[in-house]
């Protein structure tokens, strides 16, 4: 198939937009994306990892076919947390995080709890947006609202996707720069939070993510899977803080038609959705009844509307779940086949 679907997707992107507003060719977007991070945070440069599709792998081939970007870019990344088997389609391209960034914001606050800088009972005011014209100010005006505990703010942010609660946590930790710094400490380089949620929502629609790349408030699917995997495995937070975050994600009430949309009833999904102009997303941990867990990040643009984007996310998530399950069964069959079998054990 040579370049096949992946090549056609990349070739179909007409322009890319940097944080400074300059237009660049799509092929330059990822390297410029990392260069921007290097300049801002002083990290060493590295060449972007380009996913080379292996169409000998049936799961990859099926995901690539579903993630055909002819009607808008689609980024997919997933990893089986038991085997490390990875799937990535445009996994190293930046996509708008929208509200999926709220996972990292909560994690930054919880790191502070673990370090004794504040607690879950600390109270902060909701940040209520004040009406203003798009782009009329660098930061959208907000006013303080009711005071809630950090535990309540995290719950509202992750289960109801409350923007006011999220901005309360964001203000408490020190703004977007503090969240980016947490991501760098965790080794997550392709994560770039630049605005609070009030500003992001007010100025939404400036760039069409289906045909353009804007590195502001963006991340790559692959790095969001890395973020999810590390949080789930307890790499960066204490056990109690990890349980607060993952527990809230398990109670998420938004986007029921996305990752959860086609899942069997006995599958547990801890996830966080994101929605902005012409883009929908969902990231999460899918855990089957056998205890096997998969970290998944799916970012969908275009596709003719939100309903179609949601359906695309649901289909991709179910194919990943089924495909990883089949891979696990095949591995177990080969690994534990009785002596004398015609298939050698791995």
pLDDT in tens, the chain (346 residues): 333 333 333 333 333 333 333 333 334 444 554 455 444 434 333 333 444 444 567 888 889 889 988 899 999 999 999 889 999 999 999 999 999 999 999 999 999 999 999 999 999 999 999 999 999 999 999 999 999 999 999 999 999 999 999 999 999 999 999 999 999 999 999 999 999 999 999 999 999 999 999 999 999 999 999 999 999 999 999 999 999 999 999 999 999 999 999 999 999 999 999 999 999 999 999 999 999 999 999 999 999 999 999 999 999 999 999 998 876 565 444 444 444 433 333 3
> What is 4-335's CATH number?
3.40.710.10
Rounded Cα distance between 316 and 318, Å, is: 6
pTM for the model stands at 0.81
């Amino acid at each position: 198939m040579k370049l096949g679907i992946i090549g056609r997707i990349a070739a179909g992107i007409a322009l890319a937009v940097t944080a400074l507003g300059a237009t660049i060719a799509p092929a330059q977007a990822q390297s410029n994306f990392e260069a921007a991070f290097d300049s801002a945070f002083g990290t060493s440069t590295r060449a972007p990892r380009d996913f080379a599709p292996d169409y000998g792998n049936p799961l990859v081939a099926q995901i690539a076919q579903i993630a055909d970007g002819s009607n808008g870019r689609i980024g997919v990344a997933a990893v089986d947390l038991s085997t490390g088997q990875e799937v990535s389609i445009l996994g190293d391209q930046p996509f708008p995080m929208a509200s999926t960034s709220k996972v990292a914001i909560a994690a930054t606050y919880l790191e502070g709890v673990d370090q004794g800088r504040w607690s879950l009972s600390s109270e902060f005011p909701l940040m209520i947006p004040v009406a203003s014209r798009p782009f009329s100010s660098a930061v959208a005006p907000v006013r303080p609202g009711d005071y809630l505990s950090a535990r309540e703010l995290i719950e509202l942010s992750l289960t109801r996707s409350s923007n006011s609660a999220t901005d309360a946590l964001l203000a408490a930790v020190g703004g977007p720069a503090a969240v980016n710094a947490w991501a760098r400490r965790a080794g997550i380089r392709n994560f770039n939070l630049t605005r609070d949620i009030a500003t992001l929502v007010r100025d939404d629609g400036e760039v069409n993510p289906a045909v353009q790349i804007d590195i502001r408030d963006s991340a790559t699917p692959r790095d969001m899977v890395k973020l999810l995997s590390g949080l789930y495995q307890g790499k960066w937070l204490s056990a109690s803080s990890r349980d607060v975050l993952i527990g809230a994600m398990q109670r998420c009430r938004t986007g029921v038609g996305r990752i959860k949309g086609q899942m069997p009833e006995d599958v547990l999904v801890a996830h966080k959705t994101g929605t902005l102009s012409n883009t929908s997303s969902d990231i999460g941990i899918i855990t089957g009844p056998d205890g096997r867990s998969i970290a998944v990040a799916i970012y969908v643009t275009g596709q003719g509307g939100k309903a179609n984007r949601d359906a695309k996310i649901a289909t991709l998530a179910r194919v990943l779940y089924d495909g990883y399950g089949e891979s696990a069964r095949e591995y177990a069959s080969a690994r534990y086949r009785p002596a004398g079998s015609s298939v050698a054990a791995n």
